[in-house]
Structure 1
Amino acid sequence: MDKNMIFDFKGLDHVALTCSDMKKTVDFYHGKLGMPVLHTIEYHDDNGGLLGQHWFFGVGDEGNPDAHIAFFWWKDGYQTLSKEDVFTGKTPANRFARPIGGMLHLNLRVAPENLRPYAEKLTNMGIPYRHVTRYHTEVSEKQATGLVTQGMRGITSRNEYHEPQEGWLMNSVYVFDPDGIEVEFNSWSPQWRSWPNNHVAQSNEAKSAE
């Protein structure tokens, strides 16, 4: 197998997908397939209302223990629309939602010390990128996307690499391929392993039964 002489990727870290019902997704991947829930994250609006969830299911690679499948669920997302609505281009109430079953991005693991030189390579290649470093915070802060991520804050820059501060959890560079598929180069800090996995998986059934 030929070696990559441009970027030293440490394997596929994760693929991020969207689901219509997080409880059913957890029941399948964790309950039926036995995949461990590594971490969970919740997203809120400015008033603390729940907008979405992000769950990490471990794939069981002992040589790559952080490798996982990532699922996002969005309240009032595309699951509220009929097939005809989706076909005609209607969008849901939640502006952050993405189509069900769609891939949000794929993530390639890189060594922490390589992110800066890789960002410089992207600049030299003329490839635009977005750099995001995430930290734990006691007071949740609004992210550059407009979401409030519970317990987490992010520092974002575009086409410029910022050196992570002490205590970072994730350090990521995002690029788009020619078809608009988002590719993430990512490093995890050892502190990320202590991130919780105790959120309650949200279901749409309770809402529809009201």
Structure 2
Amino acid sequence: MNHLALVCRDFQETIDFYTITLGLKLIKNIDLPSGGKHFFIDIGNNNTLAFFWSTKAPESVPGISSVRPEAFLTGDIITAHGSMNHVAFHVPLEKLEEYKEKLVSKGVQTTPVLHHTDVPMSSFYFFDPNGILLEFAANLQSLDTLPAELKEKEAIFLK
């Protein structure tokens, strides 16, 4: 993936969350002709989260365009077709609890660490200030021990 483009409701609050709370780096900030902003947050491995901000953007509709805030603790994180459900960031397994504790100490509400039975992964979820559901996910198996179809491969487009 090169970047995922999202829409934020508050330009500065979003930058502060991703740079101060999560410790990521703002790498590009573009003023749009319409008066809005388009900015990029480095998430590592040559990937970015891109955000658009405009005073003309409509509000999100939790339960349709995004996960309902009260539902993330129950795991009922269903969203509409064509919507984005959540963004998962890979983190080292040995850092998962530490990252959760750091977020909680910064006032971010998280789920408990979940040990998924359907995939070899542990993770926890939390919201950014825009209501975008985020996940810190750690693989429980080395990529070397995963089945070949789950190992990282170069994407092949338009064969």
Question: TM-score, length-normalised on structure 2?
Answer: 0.41
Bigger radius of gyration among the two: 1
Question: TM-score, length-normalised on structure 1?
Answer: 0.32
